[in-house]
Structure 1
């Protein structure tokens, strides 16, 4: 009797701990086999986002090629804008909160360069509480938050590509 109660208690504690840590199951990003491998095209200022998107594809078993001529689908991404805006001021007119914005566009092209879908713009926004007495901490936190925003943006870009690929695959 005690072992059954202990098992239930341990299972409940594990579920609560897992929920509290922020773990969430995410769906996988899949592309039809006839649309792989994909090539990710990005401008020089979008390389970090490109690497993040490539990582999302690799995690989800989507073949990515380094050569455009080997690709069956071209994913073109552009980091359009990154901004930092003051959201609130403290009593001394210093930034108490600021907002970070990033936006990127994605479009799909055929290997011959013909536009298949898009461009579609996606945005990420984060509000950060600032300690005006710690400017080094603010810069460090901004860098970390921007990296997290790019990772989230790449997940959303991958999901957009998946959605479009399923649309194209369903069409005759």
Structure 2
């Protein structure tokens, strides 16, 4: 009886520990084999987003090609906007909080350039509490948060592509 209670207690403690540490199952992004390899097209100012999206596809075993001619599906991504806005001021009229915004669009094209789905715009926002006495810390934190936002945005873009590809597969 004691061993059974101990097992239950350890199982509950393990689950609480996992939840407290921030671990979360993200799911996976998958595309049908007949839609791979994928080519990711992006403008010059969207290259970081393109690399993040490519990383998401590679993590999820989606084949990505560097040659547009080899692709069975073209994913076009564009970073539309990056903004930093003051959200609140302190007593000395310095930024106490600021908000970071990023938006991107994604669309699917066939290998011949015909639009299959989209464009669809996704946004990412974060609010950051600022220490006005530490301007170097603000810039460092802003860079870290922007990188995290870009990764989250690329995850959402990959899921959008997966959703659309499933719709295309379901069409007769």
Q: What interval of TM-score do these two structures reach, taking the shorter chain for normalisation?
A: over 0.9
The alignment status of 1:121 with 2:100, answered yes or no, reads no
**2:80 aligned residue:** 80
The alignment status of 1:158 with 2:155, answered yes or no, reads no
RMSD of aligned residue pairs (Cα, Å): 0.9
Moved more, 69-78 or 22-31: 22-31
**1:53 aligned residue:** 53
TM-score by length of 1: 0.97
The alignment status of 1:18 with 2:11, answered yes or no, reads no
Q: Which secondary structure state, in structure 2, belongs to the residue aligned with residue 161 of structure 1? A: helix
Report the Cα offset of residue 3 of structure 1.
Answer: 2.5
Give the aligned length.
Answer: 172
Paired with 1:8 and 1:115, the residues of 2 have a C-alpha distance of 54
Paired with 1:2 and 1:140, the residues of 2 have a C-alpha distance of 51
**1:94 aligned residue:** 94
Q: Which secondary structure state, in structure 1, belongs to the residue aligned with residue 167 of structure 2? A: helix
Report the Cα offset of residue 119 of structure 1.
Answer: 0.8
**2:131 aligned residue:** 131
Report the Cα offset of residue 168 of structure 1.
Answer: 0.7
TM-score by length of 2: 0.97
Paired with 1:18 and 1:45, the residues of 2 have a C-alpha distance of 38
Paired with 1:170 and 1:83, the residues of 2 have a C-alpha distance of 38
The alignment status of 1:111 with 2:111, answered yes or no, reads yes
Paired with 2:170 and 2:9, the residues of 1 have a C-alpha distance of 47
Q: Which secondary structure state, in structure 1, belongs to the residue aligned with residue 92 of structure 2? A: coil
Q: Which secondary structure state, in structure 1, belongs to the residue aligned with residue 131 of structure 2? A: coil
Report the Cα offset of residue 26 of structure 1.
Answer: 1.7
Paired with 1:108 and 1:121, the residues of 2 have a C-alpha distance of 13
Q: Which secondary structure state, in structure 2, belongs to the residue aligned with residue 23 of structure 1? A: coil
**2:31 aligned residue:** 31
Which runs of 5 or more structure 2 residues have no equivalent in the other structure?
none
